[in-house]
Chain A
Amino acid sequence: MYCAAQPKGRETALGTVASMAADDRVALRDVTVRYGRRVALEAVSGEFLPGCLTAVVGANGAGKSTLLAAIAGTVRLAAGSVHRPRAQRLAYLPQLTALNTDYPLTVQELITLGAWRDIGISGAPDAALRTQVTAAATTVGLQDRQHRHIGELSAGELQRALFARLILQDAAVILLDEPFAAVDARTTSVLLDQVVRWHQEGRSVIAVLHDLALVRANFPTTLVLAHRCVAWGTTETALAA
């Protein structure tokens, strides 16, 4: 399967290098997922090469979110296999509805969770990390909201905070499930800029999307799903299929 080759190992905003390795590819072999008797995905095969920017599109219930969950390893496969990077190099943002926003975390605490790799289960954030958290919050336009509880945020602000957490995660492969659903045009523009920045830094971004105009304008490659793989290649050819 096709995925355009991307520049590798550029300097990122966090000052670390997202060097792409062969282990950062995502390869699917006959991936099949069932929920009870219902088949969500059937025999999907292909490979997302390091540095790709790929949209996953299809009708409601076509298996798009299931594909991302299968790549992230949070759903059990009925058949097939997934080659994915090790957990620390993969970041997965599920749909907003999967989150419990009653939990009284502050925006700052939420973003800090992105540095799990460094602080673990009990480490305290140091001054350098706090600076990175503020920088990530500023990138997504939440610098004035850092001490707000997440329950007080709009859907768009919450998605911005989750993107800031992704920035801290500094992952090589980023999975986004409907990242622009229920957010306004201004937020979409801010988040899309960040997606493009990740792509330019050489990270792989795989996003479930509905807006085909947005896909055509920003995503070089597209996977069209209808439980099975209908088309996978350059956006132009995949959407024409």
Chain B
Amino acid sequence: MMSAHALLIVPFQTLGFMRTALVACVALALANGAVGTLLVLRRMSLDGDVLGHAVMPGAAISFLFVGPSPTWLSLGGLASGLAVAALAGMITRDRTRHDAGLVAFYLVALSLGVLLVAWRGSNVDIMRVLFGTVLAIDRNALLQTAVVASMILLVIAALYRPFAAGAFDPTFLRAVAGRVPYDAIFAAMVVLALVASFQAFGTLLAVGPMLLPAAAARCWGFGVASSMVLASCFGLLASLAGLLISYHANLPSGPAIVLSAGLLFGLSLVATHLLRRLTSRLGERV
């Protein structure tokens, strides 16, 4: 029987890459908790998914010309993510075409990215771009992730009021804030968070650690700030659980983390449902 120390501490005590991965996950969980909560509250989960894949073509082009450099992959991903966010913003004006347009972006960006990587790279490169390599994060990539996560948190803290007003009543925000493009700034924060997650989770999974902990936190019905804190805590818990499952069961770490976040979402759904039923039954008796 394995002791708690061997189960929980030894993997991080003995392996440097596990510690680096955990620190990167902590930074990502903090930024993703704030961005993901606002995405869920703004009913923009599909937009987040599309932007996750929008990172792919730019990162693939960087890969073609520079190779697997984390900095250049991030810069390429950032450029194509922002370009697609701008295009998505333009089609958002017509709500009837919104969903179909976003799905078209999602499919085209993903296919284009895979083709570009396959053109010069191997299957291993494709898998790395699609699913990430959280255990291969080096010191430079960790520093980049920490800086981007800090920037995102600072911007969201500074612009929280317009982001909240725009999420509840976009017409009011346009009326009081004039031409300041708060929606575009928020979309840029989403792209930045996805680019920061790209190396760890790849283009297919990057949106998972952003949306699943936020959706799980939302089930509990707290206010915005509490939901952000709870989403970050869920993100941390999922990261820790995923990394340990990956270590002990010799499974890929990115999918293990996303699956753990999915499990937390499922548990939150069931627990809050049961809690509501219990509360209403107690209310009936009183």
Q: Does B70 contact A (CB under 8 A)?
A: no
CB neighbors of A among B22-46 (8 A): 41-43
> CA separation between A91 and B175, bound complex, in Å?
7
> CA separation between A52 and B202, bound complex, in Å?
59
Type the 1/0 row for A77-118, where 1 means its CB is closer than 8 Å to any CB of B: 000000000011011101000111111111001100100110
B35 → chain A closest CB, angstroms = 16
> CA separation between A224 and B178, bound complex, in Å?
30
- Give every chain B residue within 8 A of A73 (Cβ-Cβ): 175
Please pick, from A91, A92, A105, the residue contacting B168 in the complex, using a CB distance under 8 A.
A105
> CA separation between A33 and B3, bound complex, in Å?
71
A158 → chain B closest CB, angstroms = 11
- Give every chain B residue within 8 A of A90 (Cβ-Cβ): 175
Q: Does B90 contact A (CB under 8 A)?
A: no
> CA separation between A104 and B42, bound complex, in Å?
11
Please pick, from B158, B159, B164, the residue contacting A103 in the complex, using a CB distance under 8 A.
B164
Q: Is the CB of B42 within 8 A of A100?
A: yes
B44 → chain A closest CB, angstroms = 11
> CA separation between A103 and B165, bound complex, in Å?
9
Q: Is the CB of A92 within 8 A of B172?
A: yes
Q: Across the two chains, which residue of chain A brings its CB closest to B42? A: A100
Please pick, from A104, A109, A150, the residue contacting B41 in the complex, using a CB distance under 8 A.
A104
Classify chain A: how many residues form its interface, as a range.
20 to 34
- Give every chain B residue within 8 A of A121 (Cβ-Cβ): 158-159, 161-162, 177
Please pick, from B158, B160, B165, B222, the residue contacting A104 in the complex, using a CB distance under 8 A.
B222
Known contacts A87-B178, A121-B159; A100 and B168 CB within 8 A of each other: yes
Q: Across the two chains, which residue of chain B brings its CB closest to A92? A: B175
Among A91, A92, A149, A165, residue most surrounded by chain B Cβ atoms (within 10 Å): A92
Q: Across the two chains, which residue of chain B brings its CB closest to A86? A: B178
Known contacts A100-B167, A103-B164, A104-B41; A113 and B158 CB within 8 A of each other: no
Q: Does A205 contact B (CB under 8 A)?
A: no
Q: Is the CB of A74 within 8 A of B161?
A: no
Q: Is the CB of A117 within 8 A of B176?
A: yes
Q: Is the CB of B223 within 8 A of A104?
A: yes
Q: Is the CB of B158 within 8 A of A122?
A: yes
- Give every chain A residue within 8 A of B165 (Cβ-Cβ): 113, 116
Q: Is the CB of A104 within 8 A of B43?
A: no
Please pick, from A74, A105, A113, the residue contacting B171 in the complex, using a CB distance under 8 A.
A74
Q: Is the CB of A102 within 8 A of B176?
A: no
Q: Is the CB of A104 within 8 A of B227?
A: yes
Known contacts A102-B43, A103-B41, A103-B167; A72 and B172 CB within 8 A of each other: no
Q: Is the CB of A99 within 8 A of B175?
A: no
Known contacts A100-B42, A149-B223; A105 and B172 CB within 8 A of each other: no
Q: Is the CB of A113 within 8 A of B41?
A: no
- Give every chain A residue within 8 A of B169 (Cβ-Cβ): 94, 98-100
B159 → chain A closest CB, angstroms = 6
Known contacts A103-B167, A103-B168, A105-B168; A72 and B175 CB within 8 A of each other: yes
Q: Can you list 11 A-B pairs, Cβ within 8 angstroms, ordered by A?
A: A88-B176, A92-B172, A98-B169, A98-B170, A99-B169, A100-B41, A101-B168, A104-B223, A104-B227, A105-B168, A149-B223
4 A-B pairs with least C-beta separation:
A103-B168, A116-B176, A94-B171, A104-B223
Extra A-B contacts (8), CB below 8 Å, given A101-B168, A103-B42, A122-B160: A87-B176, A91-B175, A92-B175, A100-B167, A102-B43, A103-B168, A110-B168, A113-B176
